[in-house]
Copies of this chain bind each other. A is one copy, B any other.
């Protein structure tokens, strides 16, 4: 079906079972109007996603639920837990869906994200970044005071001492894990003796409770080709496993050994000792992950489905071989590979302009667009794209079922 013919439909109840959408008024809905229709968790009217003002961020609920279920099934079958990273979706209701499906907790990258998640009812949070300033340490400790399920990472003896002082001052015990560098030297302490010394210090310091370690190998997640990805990440995690052994032999907690992600979710259980995978992008997927290839499909990483899309409208069709849309870098980011037009072939999309997207037709394009037509885009890189929007529309079929606040949007501090 051509997208343009799906615009502006009206929901008509037929026999009480099947739902039929028919074209309706030409009004469409602004973001404010759709939000006004969403009261107490229920849409008070029938709105098709094709009636939404654009650019708008949409998540397909069926695909999202399938992704969450498949991840949980796979990890469970492999004898490992999931601790999904909320930096991807920044949306408490998705975090709750992940916990409801069996995740042991969620991760956050920033203390502000953790605060927002807790304010929205999420109470098992592992903050994977070290808090180094007095402001952030104070906030993390205040959060820990209210949220017994809050755990934070640390990667130096200086920092562990600061955490201990802060916790002692507040008369609390703070749960911490040691962040281990997988070799990228971005964050974390060097595995082996340095990490062991830090763990021993934490174990002795007042106010701190050692819970184990984490080692996030971000550099392996997007390695193309399943076998290359597998060999690289397993090799890079060896030092972390050896550190895990040192902790274990030293009588230190190894209750948590967290690491891995969407690119290695079906590999990480082979890292001995690893307890849970910090999967993030699997809920949405994106063109960056599609291109890495999977175990069963070397061309496209199709283990999870592309649930997250941006709806955009064609603004100009006057020039040969191209069309201009209303979704540019401020709606799509400039991550590569570029966003892809869902369901179409023989054309490319780019968002190099701040305000405008560009469609270029190649030979045998599956269709062309007219001004006003809607385009649905599979996002380039889901994390920073989500961070551009205040809310996402949760879609079932074509129907807007909910308007979800991206409550931790912009929470980079």
Q: Which residues of A contact B (CB under 8 A)?
A: 26-31, 53-56, 87, 109-110, 112, 129-130, 132-136, 138-139, 155-156, 158-159, 181, 185-190, 218, 313-316, 318-319, 322, 324, 326-331, 333-335, 353-356, 358, 371-372, 383-384, 387-390, 410, 412-413
Contacts and interface: CB of A to CB of B under 8 A. Distances in A.
Contacts of A27: 134-135, 138
18 contacts: A29-B135, A31-B112, A87-B355, A110-B326, A129-B326, A130-B316, A132-B313, A133-B372, A158-B371, A159-B371, A185-B318, A186-B324, A186-B353, A188-B316, A326-B412, A330-B384, A331-B412, A390-B410
A380 to B, nearest CB: 11
B383 A330 contact: yes
A190 B130 contact: no
A372 B133 CA distance: 6
A71 to B, nearest CB: 20
A127 B303 CA distance: 44
Contact of A318 (B54, B155, B326, B329): B155
Nearest to A128: B355
A146 to B, nearest CB: 16
Nearest to A218: B353
A225 to B, nearest CB: 21
A398 B204 CA distance: 41
Nearest to A373: B132
Given A412-B330, A412-B331, A53 B133 contact: yes
Given A158-B371, A186-B324, A186-B358, 5 more contacts: A28-B134, A130-B315, A156-B371, A181-B318, A334-B384
A412 to B, nearest CB: 4
Nearest to A194: B318
A185 B319 contact: yes
Contacts of A188: 316
Contact of A56 (B158, B331, B413): B413
Contacts of A331: 412
A129 B413 contact: no
A105 to B, nearest CB: 19
Contacts of A158: 371
List the 4 closest A-B pairs by CB distance, nearest first: A28-B135, A185-B319, A331-B412, A26-B134
B354 A383 contact: yes
A413 B55 contact: yes
A118 to B, nearest CB: 15
Contacts of A181: 318-319
Contact of A354 (B30, B55, B87): B87
A327 B55 contact: no
Contacts of A134: 26-28
Given A56-B413, A383-B354, A135 B30 contact: yes
A53 B186 contact: no
A388 B413 contact: no
A100 to B, nearest CB: 26
A331 B130 CA distance: 17
B410 A139 contact: no
A186 B388 contact: no
A44 B28 CA distance: 45
B54 A313 contact: no
Contacts of A56: 413
Contact of A186 (B132, B189, B356, B389): B356
A319 to B, nearest CB: 4
Contacts of A112: 31
Contacts of A324: 186-187
A250 B46 CA distance: 49
A53 B139 CA distance: 11
